[in-house]
């Protein structure tokens, strides 16, 4: 998991949290994945996410204090009821000819701002003037969105919709709108199978001016140009074929006998 400024982010595959190697996550081409987010702050957060440079939650997600969201899908055409899961595939030559190449291919960029509280309890809490007094957002069972051209939010609240945010397994949004042998490590995210993760709208709130960012890079090949056959989870520990010792996930040689853990 990646922790930065009281927010935790991680990639999940097959229901398991994947291990990061600095800012890189390895998973097989053809895998479906989700984005796990946890707000450890004592105030709400608005989270905006782009995958391959595309905004997947227009307006942003709203995470309440200590809330966790397992985001399974993007929001397309304001569909708050269902959509396609995230699927990671290889960017082949034919795809490049049709779709082109983007500088942010393979990148999951998570940017967020925390709620700005009133200076004193005697002062009325006014929404950010950028959004206006009547702006609202969308929420799902896992997120909340806000509708203006600025930010939207998603929230999750254990199947309980509060105002206009999301609850567990439902996500809210702001109105805004492989089987081929891989030839490179560059992958992109495309629509996968259907997800019934739901969203609902939520109202806006003032946020701090400071923005924080987490960037994760998805790769389908290792540094040795070997295709990733199995997603590397946080519990993964390579076993030495010589002495049987379990080693750290990033170890290249066995700490017990010195045998290479990358046997060709």
Residue 231's pLDDT is 75
- Structure tokens given for 18: 């994947």
Residue 162's pLDDT is 31
Specify whether 201 is located in the same domain as 82. Answer: yes
> Is 224 part of any domain?
no
Rounded Cα distance, 130 and 200, in Å: 21
Residue 236's pLDDT is 66
Specify whether 215 is located in the same domain as 256. Answer: no
Contact 153, 191 (CB under 8 A): no
How many distinct structural domains can be found in the chain?
2
> Is 255 part of any domain?
yes
Give the DSSP letter of residue 260.
B
Please give the C-alpha separations between residue 49 and each of 58, 143, 197, 248, 263, in angstroms, as whole numbers: 9, 12, 17, 31, 38
Using 50 as the pLDDT threshold, list the residues of the chain that sit under it: 123, 125-138, 140, 142-183
Specify whether 84 is located in the same domain as 125. Answer: yes
Instruction: Tell me how crowded residue 28 is: count the other CB atoms within 10 A of its CB.
Output: 18
Specify whether 122 is located in the same domain as 252. Answer: no
Contact 218, 25 (CB under 8 A): yes
Residue 185's pLDDT is 67
Residue 54's pLDDT is 96
Specify whether 157 is located in the same domain as 262. Answer: no
Please give the C-alpha separations between residue 83 and each of 111, 185, 191, 199, 247, in angstroms, as whole numbers: 22, 27, 8, 11, 40
Rounded Cα distance, 69 and 55, in Å: 17
Segments forming the whole domain that contains residue 251: 236-264
Rounded Cα distance, 2 and 109, in Å: 12
Instruction: Tell me how crowded residue 14 is: count the other CB atoms within 10 A of its CB.
Output: 13
Specify whether 206 is located in the same domain as 259. Answer: no
Rounded Cα distance, 12 and 68, in Å: 13
Specify whether 207 is located in the same domain as 243. Answer: no
> Is 91 part of any domain?
yes
Element (H, E) at 192: strand 187-195
Specify whether 117 is located in the same domain as 242. Answer: no
Residue 120's pLDDT is 59
Residue 179's pLDDT is 40
> Is 16 part of any domain?
yes
- Tens digits of residue pLDDT in 104-133: 999 999 999 999 988 755 545 444 433 333
Specify whether 50 is located in the same domain as 178. Answer: yes
Instruction: Tell me how crowded residue 231 is: count the other CB atoms within 10 A of its CB.
Output: 21
Contact 68, 94 (CB under 8 A): no
Rounded Cα distance, 163 and 201, in Å: 8
């Amino acid at each position: 998991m990646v922790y930065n400024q009281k927010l935790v982010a991680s990639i999940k595959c097959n229901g398991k949290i994947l291990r990061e190697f600095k800012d890189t996550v390895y998973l097989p081409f053809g895998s479906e994945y989700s984005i796990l987010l946890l707000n450890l702050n004592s105030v709400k957060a608005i989270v905006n996410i782009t995958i391959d440079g595309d905004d997947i939650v227009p307006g942003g997600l709203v995470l309440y204090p200590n809330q966790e969201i397992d985001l399974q899908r993007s929001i397309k055409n304001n569909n708050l009821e269902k959509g396609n899961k995230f699927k990671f595939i290889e960017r082949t030559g034919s795809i490049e000819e049709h779709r082109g190449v983007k500088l942010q291919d393979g990148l999951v960029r998570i940017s967020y701002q925390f709620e700005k509280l009133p200076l004193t309890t005697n002062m009325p809490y006014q929404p950010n003037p950028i959004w206006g007094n009547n702006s609202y957002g969308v929420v799902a069972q896992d997120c909340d969105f806000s509708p203006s051209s600025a930010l939207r939010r998603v929230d999750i609240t254990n199947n309980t919709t509060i105002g206009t945010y999301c609850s567990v397994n439902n996500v809210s949004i702001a109105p805004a709108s492989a089987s081929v042998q891989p030839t490179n490590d560059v992958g992109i995210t495309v629509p996968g199978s259907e997800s019934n993760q739901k969203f609902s709208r939520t109202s806006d709130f003032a946020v701090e001016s400071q923005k924080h960012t987490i960037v994760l890079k998805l790769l389908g090949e290792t540094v040795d140009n070997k295709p990733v056959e199995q997603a590397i989870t946080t519990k993964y520990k390579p076993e030495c074929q010589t002495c049987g010792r379990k080693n750290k996930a990033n170890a290249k040689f066995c700490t017990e006998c010195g045998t290479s853990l990358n046997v060709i």
